[in-house]
Structure 1
Amino acid sequence: MNNQKTLSVLNDLLNITNDRIQGFSKVEDKVWEQYPLLRADYDTMVSQSHTMKNQLTNLITERGGTPDQSGSAAGAIHRAWIDVKNSFSADKADTTIGNVVYGESAAIDAYQDALDSGDLCPESSRVVLDQLHQLKASHDKFENLEDLKN
């Protein structure tokens, strides 16, 4: 197992988690009127994201790496696209929730790719797998919008 590859994969996941946190800040107060039952799940997702960030940061540091606390270029482009899309959308709540689902799907794919790469040490794999399960659970809650309306 190459420690540099492990650190690279963990930093990629940290960037995705940072993107997730920044993306959630764009959701603030845009959907609560139409989806009041979503607020508690959203707050849980934000809290989980910060915990995930801390876990990844610790794994990187324990392996002698330097955590990259930025987000990815792709995440910045996606957030800019969300802003443009929301400015033209009649139903900003549905558009915003749809973007959350899209972002969660992309994170799930990246986490699965990280696990499939074989570049993670056993401890890192356990943490990443646990985080993947959390991502899938939050994705599933947001996927069925009609169940969340008033």
Structure 2
Amino acid sequence: MNNEKTVSVLNDLLNITNDRIEGFSKVEDKVWNTHSALKADYDQMVSQSQVMKNDLIKLINEKGGEADNTTSTAGAFHRAWIDVKNSFSSDKDETTLENVVFGEKAAIDAYQDVLDSTDLGPESSRVVSDHLHHLKSSYNKFENLEARS
């Protein structure tokens, strides 16, 4: 794959990572009264998202590209939908957890699609694969909690 295409794909993943960071800000302090044990996992997810963002920006720069450090349109629509959904929900904790699980699943699917269908080169593939591992780990934590709710 040429550098231009690789940079474009990495920028797409950067947008998704920025969507996660924005989505996490929507969740901030919404479920900690009911699920206080989850706070440390949440903080780790936020911290890991920042690391992922920095990794992607570094890869993009190394390939001679310019990082598109914005969010995606789909992510903006999803966050708006979260606001609407939360305003009508009687169980805001459950709705919040559902949204975290939905967002993590969407990110996993995007990262997996990139690894399955794109030749990013060894270094970029290793980083994206590592990110996917972290996404799956956080997804499993929240999915298990949501299932118990």
TM bucket normalised to smaller: over 0.9
Tell me how far apart the structure 1 counterparts of residues 37 and 121 of structure 2 sit (CA, whole Å): 39
How far the C-alpha of 1:145 sits from its partner, in A, is 2.0
Quick check: 1:37–1:148 contact (8 Å CA) kept in 2?
A: no
| Closer/same/farther in 2, CA of residues 146 and 59 from structure 1, 3 Å limit | closer
Query: Could you report, residue by residue, the CA deviation over 1:28-86 in whole angstroms, capped at 9, with x for unpaired residues?
Result: 11100111111000000000000000000000000000000100000000000000000
Tell me how far apart the structure 2 counterparts of residues 43 and 118 of structure 1 sit (CA, whole Å): 31
Query: Could you report, residue by residue, the CA deviation over 1:60-113 in whole angstroms, capped at 9, with x for unpaired residues?
Result: 000000000100000000000000000000010110011000000000000001
Amino acid at match of 2:42: Y
Higher normalized contact order (CA 8 Å, seq sep 6+, divided by chain length): 1
Secondary structure (helix, strand or coil) at the match of 2:58 reads helix
Tell me how far apart the structure 2 counterparts of residues 43 and 140 of structure 1 sit (CA, whole Å): 15
* Other-structure match for 2:78: 78
Query: Could you report, residue by residue, the CA deviation over 1:11-40 in whole angstroms, capped at 9, with x for unpaired residues?
Result: 000000000000000001110011111100
Q: Does 1:94 align with 2:94?
A: yes
Tell me how far apart the structure 1 counterparts of residues 146 and 19 of structure 2 sit (CA, whole Å): 26
RMSD of aligned residue pairs (Cα, Å): 1.2
* Other-structure match for 1:54: 54
How far the C-alpha of 1:3 sits from its partner, in A, is 1.1
Tell me how far apart the structure 1 counterparts of residues 146 and 82 of structure 2 sit (CA, whole Å): 21
Give the TM-score, by structure 2 length. 0.97
The percentage of aligned residue pairs carrying the same residue is: 71
| Closer/same/farther in 2, CA of residues 146 and 63 from structure 1, 3 Å limit | closer
Q: Where does structure 2 lack aligned partners over 5 or more consecutive residues?
A: none
Q: How many residues align?
A: 149
Quick check: 2:108–2:135 contact (8 Å CA) kept in 1?
A: yes
Runs of 4+ in 1 over 4 A off after TM superposition: 146-149
Q: Where does structure 1 lack aligned partners over 5 or more consecutive residues?
A: none
Tell me how far apart the structure 1 counterparts of residues 146 and 33 of structure 2 sit (CA, whole Å): 14
Give the TM-score, by structure 1 length. 0.96
Tell me how far apart the structure 1 counterparts of residues 128 and 146 of structure 2 sit (CA, whole Å): 31
* Other-structure match for 2:69: 69
* Other-structure match for 1:10: 10
Quick check: 2:15–2:70 contact (8 Å CA) kept in 1?
A: yes
Tell me how far apart the structure 2 counterparts of residues 114 and 68 of structure 1 sit (CA, whole Å): 17
Quick check: 2:15–2:69 contact (8 Å CA) kept in 1?
A: yes
Secondary structure (helix, strand or coil) at the match of 2:36 reads coil
Tell me how far apart the structure 2 counterparts of residues 27 and 39 of structure 1 sit (CA, whole Å): 11
